[in-house]
């Protein structure tokens, strides 16, 4: 039964893909499978206050606050999201919603907040449903939240749980689905516990090409089918690498995936480049350092110029000083975020 009013809240993390999702079909169905580390520090905190409308109508009704300020610019995105999820959560139109949201990472840092933001909102809506409905299992809840999050932003479906989440049907992962992310079901070596991700903020500006457009450009892309095939192969290879903790092979896949993502951008029509000169300088410094330091530091990239520097906990005392001394100078205003692998969303 629907309640008259109430409030729900969640904090949900961002995630960083190891095998990248790039290209999609109708209804946010991914063109290839992907897998990501859930993060721990880059989070979105969202609350939704709901109150039954006095007069029923056929409109969504909501106010939106970002960092306690009304945020009209974000409203069309939320409205599109609400329209997409309406048939799965039909009670939403019966309420006036007051959505309050904030990020734990600096505003406009160039860090995409769509994964953490959309998953936090999906969690709030699903918590409403859980309040109104007969008891449901945690597995059902998590799968449906991930399903709803996917309709907000594809990669958001990988933010609910942790430390590793896989999304997209593929033969090497049992239970994999195009509709929602699943907690990686296989053994993962201890070396990946407490893995670090130091995010170097190279460029905080608005991206020239959004990921929506980027995904779109994979339709008719000359290398699309080979790329999609490669993502399946990489996921398959990762299974033994993750189980055995083979860091050299891990690096080989993760760095190649990052560069392939950007290669797809550079070879689409129209073509574009999201990396900046400092992105390449950082990559080169990481390669030089890795050769001489006997460590396993590596990089990955999102759809932007920022660099995610990944390394295991037991190499932190060698790698972090290198980051501070050599890499921070390539960041805009010296900005970076110390993140690490995390366990997913929290109430």
Q: Does 200 bind ligand PMV (CB under 6 A)?
A: no
Nearer to ligand PMV, 94 or 169 (CB): 169
Q: Does 12 bind ligand PMV (CB under 6 A)?
A: no
Q: Contact 306/330 with Cβ under 8 angstroms?
A: no
Q: Does 300 bind ligand PMV (CB under 6 A)?
A: no
Q: Does 217 bind ligand PMV (CB under 6 A)?
A: no
Q: Contact 144/6 with Cβ under 8 angstroms?
A: no
> What sign for the dihedral angle of Cα 250, 253, 258, 261?
negative
Q: How far is the CB of 20 from ligand PMV (least distance, A)?
A: 4
Q: Does 103 bind ligand PMV (CB under 6 A)?
A: no
Q: How far is the CB of 135 from ligand PMV (least distance, A)?
A: 31
Using DSSP bridges, classify how beta strands 61-66 and 69-70 pair: parallel, antiparallel or unpaired.
antiparallel
Size of the site for ligand PMV (CB under 6 A): 14
Q: Does 260 bind ligand PMV (CB under 6 A)?
A: no
Q: Is 54 exposed, middle or buried (0-12, 13-18, 19+ CB in 10 A)?
A: exposed
Return the residue of 127, 161, 203, 302 that touches ligand PMV, per CB under 6 A: 302
Only segment of 15-23, 78-86, 173-181, 197-205 that touches ligand PMV (CB under 6 A): 15-23
Residues 36-95 that bind ligand PMV (CB under 6 A): none
Distance (Å) of CA 114 to CA 190, 246, 291: 30, 31, 35
- In the three-class reduction of DSSP (H, G, I as helix; E, B as strand; rest coil), residue 133 is classed as coil
Q: How far is the CB of 179 from ligand PMV (least distance, A)?
A: 15
Return the residue of 23, 33, 154, 344 that touches ligand PMV, per CB under 6 A: 154
Instruction: Report the number of secondary-structure helices (H) and strands (E) in the chain.
Output: 8, 13
Nearer to ligand PMV, 82 or 218 (CB): 218
Q: Does 192 bind ligand PMV (CB under 6 A)?
A: no
Q: How far is the CB of 170 from ligand PMV (least distance, A)?
A: 14
The H-assigned helical ranges of 157-314 are: 211-216, 224-244, 247-266, 277-293
Nearer to ligand PMV, 21 or 311 (CB): 21
Q: How far is the CB of 212 from ligand PMV (least distance, A)?
A: 6
Only segment of 75-83, 121-129, 132-140, 153-161 that touches ligand PMV (CB under 6 A): 153-161
Q: Is 89 exposed, middle or buried (0-12, 13-18, 19+ CB in 10 A)?
A: middle
Q: How far is the CB of 31 from ligand PMV (least distance, A)?
A: 11
What DSSP state is assigned to residue 190?
A: G
Q: Contact 32/232 with Cβ under 8 angstroms?
A: yes
Nearer to ligand PMV, 8 or 18 (CB): 18
Q: How far is the CB of 214 from ligand PMV (least distance, A)?
A: 7
Distance (Å) of CA 132 to CA 1, 10, 82, 90, 306: 5, 17, 18, 12, 42
d(CA 267, CA 221): 8
Using DSSP bridges, classify how beta strands 61-66 and 95-103 pair: parallel, antiparallel or unpaired.
parallel
Nearer to ligand PMV, 303 or 331 (CB): 303
Q: Contact 232/33 with Cβ under 8 angstroms?
A: yes
Q: How far is the CB of 317 from ligand PMV (least distance, A)?
A: 30
The residues that bridge with 9 in the sheet, in sequence order, are 47
Q: What is the CA radius of gyration of the chain?
A: 20
Only segment of 20-28, 61-69, 198-206, 310-318 that touches ligand PMV (CB under 6 A): 20-28
For binding to ligand PMV (CB under 6 A), which residues are involved? 17, 20-22, 34, 114, 153-155, 211, 215, 261, 302-303
């Amino acid at each position: 039964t629907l309640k008259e009013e109430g409030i729900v809240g969640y904090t949900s993390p961002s995630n960083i893909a190891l095998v990248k999702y790039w290209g999609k079909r109708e209804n946010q169905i991914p063109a290839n499978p992907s897998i990501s580390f859930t993060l721990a520090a880059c989070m979105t905190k969202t609350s939704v206050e709901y109150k039954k409308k006095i007069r029923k109508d056929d409109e969504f009704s909501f106010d939106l606050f970002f960092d306690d300020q009304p945020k009209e610019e974000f409203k069309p995105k939320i409205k599109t999201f609400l329209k997409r999820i309406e048939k799965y959560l039909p009670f939403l139109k019966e309420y006036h919603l007051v959505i309050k949201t904030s990020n734990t990472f600096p505003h406009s840092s160039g860090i995409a907040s769509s994964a953490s933001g959309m998953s936090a909102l999906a969690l709030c809506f699903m918590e409403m449903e859980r309040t109104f409905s007969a008891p449901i299992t945690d597995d059902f809840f998590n799968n449906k939240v991930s399903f709803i999050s996917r309709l907000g932003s594809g990669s958001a479906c990988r933010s609910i749980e942790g430390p590793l989440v896989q999304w997209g049907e593929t033969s090497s992962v049992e239970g994999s689905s195009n509709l929602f992310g699943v907690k990686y079901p296989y053994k993962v070596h201890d070396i990946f516990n407490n893995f670090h991700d130091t995010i170097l903020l190279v460029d905080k500006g608005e991206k020239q090409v959004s990921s929506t457009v980027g995904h779109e450009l994979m339709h008719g892309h000359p290398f699309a089918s080979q790329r999609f095939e490669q993502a399946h192969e990489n996921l398959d290879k990762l299974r033994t690498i993750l189980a055995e903790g083979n860091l050299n092979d891990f690096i080989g896949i993760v760095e190649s995936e990052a560069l392939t993502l950007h290669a797809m951008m550079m070879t689409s029509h129209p073509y574009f480049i999201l990396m900046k000169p400092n992105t390449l300088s950082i990559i080169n410094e990481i390669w030089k350092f890795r050769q001489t330091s006997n460590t396993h530091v590596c990089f990955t990239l999102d759809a932007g110029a920022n660099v995610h520097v990944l390394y295991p906990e037991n190499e932190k005392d060698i790698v972090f000083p290198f980051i501070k001394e050599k890499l921070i100078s390539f960041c805009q205003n010296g900005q970076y975020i110390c993140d690490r692998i995390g366990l997913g969303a929290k109430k």
